[in-house]
Every structure is written in structure tokens, then in C-alpha cells.
Amino acid sequence: MAVEVKPRARQVYGLEEIAARAARMEQVVENVKEATLRPDSKKVAPRLNQAQVASVLGITKSAFLHGVESKKYPPGHSLPGKTMYDMADMQGMARANGLRHAYAQGHGIVLTVANFKGGVAKTSTTVTLAQYMAQRGLECLVIDMDPQASATTLFGLSPYLDVIKDESVAALFYDDAPSPLTLARKTYWPGIDIIPSNQHLYEKEFALAAAAPEWGGEIFEVMGERIAPLRQRYDVILIDTQPSLGFLTSTAVFAADHLVVTVPPSNLDLASSVIFWSLLRDVMEQALKADGHVKRWEGVHVLQTRVDDTDKSTHFIRKLLAMGCEDWLLPDTIPATRVATTAASEFATVYDIERYEGSYRSIKRARELFDKAYSQFAQILNDTWDAWESEAGAAPAAQNSVSVMAEMADDESGGRHVVAA
């Protein structure tokens, strides 16, 4: 006997349904954050024990304890069975120990983290690198240039509830843009401010595209010009970008002194990085043809992320990356760790975790590997400040868009080395 199957009622989906589902998903995410960050849904910077403080300062624990006894370092906060230090204490001790370069104040360096592909750890790298630098006494600003606002979320802000258009990074691209200093806001982590993002930034992609014919190559200089005052206030400005190379990302890349490209060692990510470099070349050629200007960086760095050394294919891909990137490839890498994965599920990073359900050695080892990778950037920053200081008044490469003829003359006269396309 045949079973009668009733036809399914036809459904269609439009603006009303999409809007309702968007609101529902926003609430779901907020509920998760509230459960993760309770009791008040606000993130709090972790405290460090004496061994961790000594590690950041680059001294032994016994040397640190001697410093506490001699009152070189503060006594910390006594808790049952241990002494802890908050992040503000850590910043002060780092500066007292000379970890902040003497030329840093008033000479901020811009690092832009970019890649054409998503899922390559751009945001987590931007945030954890800022945390690493802030622990060592530097004043950091994170600029979230991704409409998905992942960096904004990691810093405990809701893109839907806590960020309005006129107080977000989108305002940098207004015709009557406010001072960028008014857009920066404090985060839960001392030493790190953020210019947050939300979905309204996406509108500026179209605005820049519409303005491009009139502006020519100068369209790529917009962000660098708008954030220039921030160099006086912050030591390090880190820009997190969206997975594309449209006008928004391009202007962030052009604003940088140092370009950081994150690449996990996998076949797909390797292939995608080839497209990134090709597209970047095309963008730079477009700017060159438009008004004869050339973009130059102090450095270009390829950072391998989510590296799993237990995967046999990883070693082969890393060899290919080394062949293609040569001296741009940084030797120390960001590992793929369960600690980082667990932290991400709680809207946190490896530096946020104060308690961990697994082995303490696991989190200690993860932090050591992150520290090792980021110490490369500490050296890069110090080398850049050394160069700027020795030239006393030389403008950063990111602020020098020069003609082809001027660049050729600079090369012939033995000017300082910068990376150029």
C-alpha cells in the first residue's frame, strides 16, 4: 500500500527572517559570554605569581625575591600560600627594569597583522602580542579593522551592545573624522587600549571604493594619516585586519611600519599566502600607477601559527615556506596547543588564564612558547627604535610615501634599508 506523502509547505526567507535570526544569535553569544565571565560579565586581567613576574623580567626567582627585600620591587598582594601581582604592578616593574625602550615614548610603531585567508590566527596573534608587550611595560593600542570584531570581543566588549558607530573604528573614515585619541578606550588589561569595531565598518569598504577614482593612490594613505597622532600616545599600535585585501585592509597595510603575515603550515594556507602576496603586489602597482608613490616598510615578517610538530606534513610545508619567504620567515612559531583552544572557548587567550583544569605544566609550556615567538617582535621593535633614534628625527617608513625617482636616489645614496616592493 502506497504511503501518501503530503507536500511540504513552501517557505521563503527575506529581510524580516534574517533580522530576527541575527538578533537571536546576538543574544545567544551574549548569554555564553555572561556564563563564561560571571559574576559581572566583565573580563579581569590575570594576576602573576612571583615566578611568572621573574620570568617576564628576565631574572631568576631568587633575584626577584632579593629585589623585593631591598624594596626595588613591590611586595605584592598576599593570598593564602602565595603572593600575587596585578598587571599594573607588572608594568611598573618592567619599566623599572628597563624593558621599555628609552626612545619608545612619542615614537609609536605600527604593526599590521594581515592575510588574505581567514582562520590563520590574525586576531589571536594581535591580541596576545599586545598582552605580551603590555606585560613588558609598553603602552599598546589595538585597532580592530575587522567588521566581525573578534578582537573587540576578545577584549570583553560586545560589538552589538557596547560599540556604536560614531565611537568605533568606522569613524576614522568620516570626512570630518574625530581625533583618533577620542576613539581609544581602556580595556581590562592595563597598558592596552582599543579602538573597537562592529558591523558598521563594512560600510566604509564601499565608501572607500567609491572615493578611489577621485583620490587615486592617496586612498591607501588615509588610515596612516588619520592615526598619525596616536604615535605620540602609544608605543605600539597593532592593527587587526579582516581576511581580505580590499580597501580597508589595504589602507591598514599601508599604515604599517612593520607588516606581519600569519601563516599556518598547511597546504591550503600556503597556497592562499601566494595569492596574498600577488594581490598585495597588484595593490601596490595600482598605487604606483595612480600617482607614482611607493609604499615602504621597516620590515615584513611571516609568522607561522598553529604549528603542530607532531604532524609529519608540517615539516615539509615549513621547508617550502622557508624556501619562499627566506629571511622574512621568523624562526620561532606559535604552537597549536590545547591550552589556547580551551582559552578561546572562554573568550580568552593563553595569557588570560589564571586557572587551568589540565596540568599546570601544559599552560606554563604554552606560555613559554608564545613568549619565545613574541620575543622576536620585542627585538624587532627595539631595533627599529634604535634606528630611529640614531637618525634623530627621521620619519618612519610608513609616513614616507616617495616617488620612484626619489626612491632610486635614496638607494644610490646609501639610505637606510627598508622593505620595498
pLDDT in tens, 33-60: 555 554 455 789 999 999 999 999 999 9
Of 66, 96, 126, which residue constitutes the final position of a domain? Answer: 96
Model pLDDT, residue 19: 64
Give the mean pLDDT of 384-407. 65
Model pLDDT, residue 42: 78
Query: d(Cα 78, Cα 184) in Å, to the nearest integer?
Result: 34
Amino acid at 335: P
Grid coordinates representing 80 are 593564602
Report if residue 30 sits inside a domain: no
Give the mean pLDDT of 327-336. 95
Report if residue 37 sits inside a domain: no
Report if residue 57 sits inside a domain: yes
Neighbours of 255 (CB within 10 A): 25
Domain that includes residue 62, residue range: 48-96
Model pLDDT, residue 24: 73
Of 96, 119, 136, which residue constitutes the final position of a domain? Answer: 96
Sheet holding 82-85, edge to edge: 48-49, 82-85, 77-79
Each residue of 333-381: pLDDT tens digit? 999 999 999 888 888 999 998 776 667 788 899 999 999 999 999 999 9
Query: d(Cα 129, Cα 385) in Å, to the nearest integer?
Result: 18
**Most confident region among 20-29, 141-150, 312-321 by mean pLDDT:** 141-150
Query: Does 360 or 305 have the greater pLDDT score?
Result: 305
The answer, yes or no, to whether residue 293 has pLDDT greater than 90, is no
Distance of alpha carbon 241 from the chain centroid: 8
Report if residue 102 sits inside a domain: no
Is the domain of 247 the same as that of 364? yes
Is the domain of 61 the same as that of 199? no
Report if residue 308 sits inside a domain: yes
Is the domain of 163 the same as that of 70? no
Report if residue 326 sits inside a domain: yes
**Cβ-Cβ contacts under 8 Å for 18 (sequence gap 6 or more):** none
Is the domain of 88 the same as that of 156? no
Give the mean pLDDT of 266-294. 88
Is the domain of 71 the same as that of 171? no
Query: d(Cα 33, Cα 134) in Å, to the nearest integer?
Result: 24
Query: d(Cα 99, Cα 255) in Å, to the nearest integer?
Result: 26
| DSSP bridge pairs for 84 | 49, 77
Run of H or E residues at 113: strand 109-114
Report if residue 249 sits inside a domain: yes
Grid coordinates representing 236 are 605600539
Is the domain of 56 the same as that of 167? no
Is the domain of 402 the same as that of 336? yes
Is the domain of 275 the same as that of 415? yes
Model pLDDT, residue 395: 57
Each residue of 100-118: pLDDT tens digit? 999 999 999 999 999 988 8
The answer, yes or no, to whether residue 212 has pLDDT greater than 50, is yes
Is the domain of 53 the same as that of 123? no
Model pLDDT, residue 136: 97
Report if residue 58 sits inside a domain: yes
Query: d(Cα 76, Cα 79) in Å, to the nearest integer?
Result: 9
Query: d(Cα 26, Cα 8) in Å, to the nearest integer?
Result: 30
Q: Can you give the pTM of this predicted structure?
A: 0.86
Grid coordinates representing 150 are 573578534
User: Alpha helices of 171-266 — where are they, by DSSP H?
Assistant: 201-215, 222-226, 230-233, 247-254
Q: What confidence category does residue 17 fall into, taking pLDDT thresholds of 50, 70 and 90? A: low
What Rg do the C-alpha atoms of the chain give, in angstroms? 23
**Cβ-Cβ contacts under 8 Å for 20 (sequence gap 6 or more):** none
How many domains, in total, are found in the chain? 2
Contact 116, 276 (CB under 8 A): yes
Is the domain of 124 the same as that of 183? yes
Beta strands in 124-244 (DSSP E): 140-145, 185-186, 192-195, 236-241
Is the domain of 179 the same as that of 315? yes
Q: What confidence category does residue 412 fall into, taking pLDDT thresholds of 50, 70 and 90? A: very low
CATH, residue 282: 3.40.50.300
Model pLDDT, residue 3: 64
Is the domain of 86 the same as that of 180? no
What 3-state class would DSSP assign to 133? Answer: helix
